[in-house]
Amino acid sequence: MIDTVIFDFDGTLADTTQLVINSFKHIYYKYYNKCDEEYIRGTFGEPLEVTLKRDFSNFKYEEVLASYRDYQVDKFEKDVKLYDTVEETLNYLKNNNFKLGIATSRVRASTLWALKNFKIDKYFEVVVAADDVIKHKPDKEPLIKVIEGLNSKTESTLYVGDSKYDMECAINAQTTPVLAGWHSNSKILAEKYNVKHVIDKMWDLIHIINEK
């Protein structure tokens, strides 16, 4: 019986896709004068620090990070929105005594700010971000840490995410993966990881839970 639902943030609860792509384009063009958007999409779900330190190893990490974040100033609140039916779904789950958490590759301060900005922080008992763990997704550590914080069990937990890192993390933690199906590569990911549950909108979670 499912009693716990844990969510990724970027691309799952909030539509940050274009903002993230544009931010990466900004720094790739700045430092390399070229950019591969498909490659950028392939890094979604990976901690920003990992991507920057790998792809910009010839430059000072702090400067590249500052360029990335400076680009986003004043753009997050204008360009980023919650996906359809997210708040209604969270409200339903909370009112029906489901335990809710976040396991994200976003840094903690940014995650907490975003949750508060969207006024959905009240729904989540435990938030585990990139700087809260040693091993990042696709390792199971972020998800297991949330599950332990919620005093839940893996077999009674759904993990909702949009990237290959999320699906692998869910499988490695032996939870039930749920794929956000509103991205261009969702069908490919569902087939690759044999994901049974693919949702078209967040409210579809309720139907999955009621079936179990």
Domains of the chain: 4-15+81-211 (3.40.50.1000), 17-78 (1.10.150.240)
pLDDT value for 211:
83
Closest CA to 120 of 80, 147, 75: 80
pLDDT value for 73:
84
Residue with tokens 């914080």: 149
Phi, psi of 7 (to 5 degrees): -120, 145
Angle, to 10 degrees, between the axis of helix 48-55 and the axis of helix 61-72? 130
pLDDT value for 59:
97
For residues 11 and 183, the answer to whether their CB atoms sit within 8 Å is: yes
36 catalytic? Reply is no
Tell how many helices (H) and how many strands (E) occur in the chain. 11, 8
Closest CA to 164 of 144, 183, 141, 145: 183
Of the residues 3, 8, 15, 200, only one is catalytic, namely 8
pLDDT value for 50:
94
pLDDT value for 136:
95
Q: What is the pTM of this model?
A: 0.93
Kindly list the averaged pLDDT for each block of 10 residues, start to end, along the chain of length 212.
97 95 96 95 92 97 95 89 97 98 95 96 98 96 98 98 97 98 94 97 95 76
